[in-house]
Structure 1
Amino acid sequence: MNRLFFYITACLLAACTTNKENKILADKILNDKSLQEVRAKAIEVVKTGFNAGDGYGEVWIRDYNTFIELSAQVFDPKELEKNLLVFFKLQGQDGNIVDGFIPKEKAVATEGGYEYIHTDLEPNYAGHKNTVETDHESSLVQAVYKYVKKTGNKDFLNKEVGGKTVAERMEMAMQFLVDHRWAEQFGLIYGATTADWGDVQHAHPWGVYITEDTKYCVDIYDNAMMLIALDNMIELVPKTKSKWQEIRDTIAKNTMEVLWDEKKQKFIPHVYLDGSPYPDDFDENKIYYHGGTAVAIEAGLLNKEQIKTSLNKMIDNVEASGAGSIGLTLYPPYPEWAFENKGMYPYGYQNGGDWTWFGGRMVQQLIRYGFVKEAYEQLLPMTDRVIKNNGFYEWYTVDNKPEGSGTFRGSAGVLDKAIEMLEIWAHKQ
């Protein structure tokens, strides 16, 4: 009897302590004027258009997917719909989705440049596809999901493009991955050898197109993105569940069996279809992928204990590298010889550059899984530098200096959503 009494009392005291701590944290979040300032800046940046940032002429689906919800706050839904429809109008007969699109008058072919894609369905824009990456189809399905959820416009799914509905074209996009990017030996989708979520392969000075030197592999980012897209599609179009739920569950199972290193509690960077492009004495599995891990958590692949371990590893990597935030793409970086593209030097661009675009997604998942204090702590370095540099820069060097576009809308989108999630949590306390 006494034991039960003391147990109940201890539980009540712990609950009271937790509630008090949550209330203090909630007040801190709601009174943090820097968060409100960053959200206001994000709105201003997104108001100015749909291209990735001031350094880009294209609208890219992998970027648009991460700021379409923010765009919905300032644009008429029809404007958002137009952009989504362009991707479907440029869709290939095999179901593939272009990487981005640009006005036809600006789509000037140059030697060694983009190979532009045109269709009879789209008179105003030309598309292009970065063939080394395998996230365009998944990104579009996710963007449609966010658009429908944000606007409530379910009728969009029934809109016809070239005699097929948007819903049917979403399924075509997923089918493309199964038909043309499926590694039978692993039961997973594959792509070229890139750094984490990056779209630059190891071979070729530019690295955005599949070549005869491409080495194919399965990785966590591409497969996690497809899992999220399948979950989204099944929710939006329930009749697809009978076919796609089994495929979704197979990918989830195989992802953990093939790519998760249980001993090291991390994802293996690449599992190759036909041998690694790197020498035998290079241990690629020493590299920790921050971005792919964040997306894997979003896909529901890791439990709370694994998420906390992942966060701890990311924090350790930030401290070891001297980087500014957990947006650090990967650590340690690949050696300089690992990529032909000169911009992929150690801690350069996608090879260890610090990207809020993915760090913000990790913060979102920390909030989602109840690590709110940790989320707030890891968010602040990202919001602080937005204010300090007066912009949403594409990426940061290892010593926290801004690089690339200063109006990178993907960064604005993920930060705004993370702050919104924090505020929603705080209001509930």
Structure 2
Amino acid sequence: MKPIKLYSFLLALLLSGALSAQTVKNKALAAKILADSRLDTIENRSLRLLSGFAAGTSYGEIWIRDLNTFIIGSLRIHPKEKVRDILLYFFKFQDKDGNIVDGYIPQKKADKSYDPERFIYSDLAPDFAAHKNTVETDQETSLIQAIRKYVDITGDHSILAEKIAGKTVNERIEMAMNFLMKERWSAKYGLITGATTMDWGDVQPEAGSNGVLLNKNTKWAIDVYDNAMFYMAINDFLAIQPKGLKTGQDWRKIAASLKKNIRLHLWMPSKGKYLPHIYLNGSPFSKDFKEEELLYSGGSACAILAGLNTPAEIAVINKQLVNAASKEKHATIGMTVFPPYPLKEFPNMAPYVYQNGGDWTWFGGRFIQGLCKYNFIQEAYTELDPMLERVLKYKGFYEWYEVRTGEPKGSGDFRGEAGVLLDAITDLRKWAKANQ
């Protein structure tokens, strides 16, 4: 039955008292979602692109923060053994302190001309070279989240008992979490730390510094993205661990404390949004710059997915993102920072470029997933629309988009965008099928 005819039929049932107004509304929306052929087109294109694992045409490496966002789609088209091996390589590069690299690449493909000292090698993976942007605090958490997705989809719990250099994957996961507790922990706030970056980004603001590596100029800070990712990772670890597993720490207690402290120190109830940063050794920005007025979309998306906000708070966050996006001609709720940092405050990245106000479906799509999780289906479908349209317009998946012109920028064949759109489409269709 076509959506218009179905709506008329449902309206008749409503008038007869057989259905509630909300049920009629839900059924009409479900019919519209299920009839949207764009979802089929983008799903098929996403799955074709996910035949590979590198982040995109500009990136030869397999990055864990990217793989974590398209592993669900990868498992639809690849044998689980292949995906399992790719995940295990990250543990083969794990340092003794527990930290996890960003990504790895075959040595013969690695571009060592720009900074050969940044490459990391392991006797357990002699054919590969790895790297790590040390300003980030999401490599460990991204890998743990990816492992949980792998286990949930495949049912393969044996990966947790797999031994790498004498330690099981379960032990190595706990090593990774302990690294964050030891090397990236603020006892004062009970939260994890990292370098000052924009939202989920991996570039520091200081001019003349190596933007992606910790150095003497680094300003240490606390943000919601890193902590929401850690909160999710701990819960993912707890969800898949074998019965009776003895852990070195009480991770349930740590997770509860983390949630409490995120809410206490980062959530601003009067403003209905998250504070961009808490600074530990001084701010890199001028005293008259009001950073607390900025809106971070990516950290907000991860906080919602982590279960850190109530439905009422989610509605407020969403309204702010929609209103902010409406101020730029081609922006969606995936615009990284609202508004962008002025160049004088962030010399390493100009306004409207890359992470400084670029529009990233990679995180906008995750916000859509958060809306679906809390039953904001109409909002999710409406706000997904411009993301779908630009994929169709430019006939591909791109790293980010310029909000003033709408032009695609950065890497082409960006698998992160394909992955989050695929997951968002899956969430919408699941709801629609249950409410048709």
TM-score by length of 2: 0.93
Match of 1:207 among 203, 208, 211: 211
Deviations 1:234-273 (A, max 9, x none): 0111536771011111111111111111211110100000
1:321 and 2:328 are equivalent in the alignment:
yes
1:357 corresponds to:
362
**Alpha-carbon distance, 1:114 to partner:** 5.8
Match of 2:380 in 1: 375
Query: Higher mean Cα deviation, 200-209 or 27-36?
Result: 200-209
Alignment of 1:86-97 (within 5 A): 86-97=89-100
| Pairwise CA distance, 1:107 | 3.2
**Runs of 4+ off more than 3 Å:** 12-15, 107-114, 238-242
Letter aligned with residue 24 of structure 1: A
1:337-393 residue CA offsets vs partner (Å, 9 max, x unmatched): 22232xx21111001100000000000010110100100001111011111100011
What does the per-residue CA deviation read over 1:67-105, in whole Å, with 9 as the maximum and x for residues that have no partner?
011000111111111111110000000000001101122
Structure 2 equivalent of residue 127 of structure 1: 130
Question: Are the aligned partners of 2:401 and 2:408 in contact in 1 as well (CA < 8 Å)?
Answer: yes
In the TM superposition, residue 108 of structure 1 has moved relative to its aligned partner by 4.7
**Deviation sequence 1:281-314 (CA, Å, 0-9, x none):** 1111111001100000011110000000000000
| d(CA) in 2 for partners of 1:391, 1:107 | 25
Structure 2 counterpart SS, 1:117 = coil
Distance of aligned partners of 1:14 and 1:180 in 2 relative to their CA distance in 1, 3 Å threshold: farther
**CA distance in structure 1 between the partners assigned to 2:416 and 2:19 by the alignment:** 38
Alignment match of 2:42 (pick from 20, 30, 38): 38
| Distance of 1:350 and 1:125 partners within structure 2 | 29
Matches within 5 A, 1:24-423: 24-47=28-51, 49-110=52-113, 112=115, 115-203=118-206, 204=208, 206-237=210-241, 239=245, 243-341=250-348, 344-399=349-404, 400-423=406-429
**Residue identity in the other structure for 2:99:** N
Q: 1:5 matched to which residue of 2? A: none
Q: Could you say if the C-alpha distance between residues 276 and 15 of structure 1 is closer, same or farther in structure 2, counting changes exceeding 3 Å?
A: farther
1:20 paired to 2:16: no
- Taking structure 1 as reference, are residues 89 and 127 closer, same or farther at Cα in structure 2, changes over 3 Å only? same
What CA distance in whole angstroms lies between the structure 1 residues aligned with 2:286 and 2:401?
A: 30
Alignment coverage as a number of residue pairs? 416
Aligned AA (1:194): T
Distance 1:265 1:402 in 2: 31
Q: Provide the secondary structure at the position in 1 that maps to 2:128.
A: strand
Separation in structure 1 between the aligned mates of residue 26 and residue 95 of structure 2, nearest angstrom: 50
Question: What residue identity is the alignment partner of 2:193?
Answer: Y
CA-based RMSD: 1.7
**Alpha-carbon spacing, 1:380–1:270, altered in 2? closer, same or farther (3 Å):** same
Aligned counterparts of 2:152 and 2:229: Cα–Cα separation in 1: 18
Amino acid at match of 1:197: W
| Identity rate, percent | 47
Shift of 1:113: 5.7
* Range moving further from structure 2, 24-33 or 111-120: 111-120
- Structure 1 stretches lacking a partner, 5+ long: 1-9
User: Is the Cα–Cα contact under 8 Å of residues 233 and 240 in structure 1 kept in the other structure?
Assistant: no
SS of equivalent to 2:158: helix
Local SS of the residue matching 1:123: coil
The C-alpha deviation readout for 1:324-346, integer Å capped at 9, x for no partner, is 311111101100122232xx211
Give, as a single letter, the amino acid of the residue that structure 1 aligns with 2:261: N
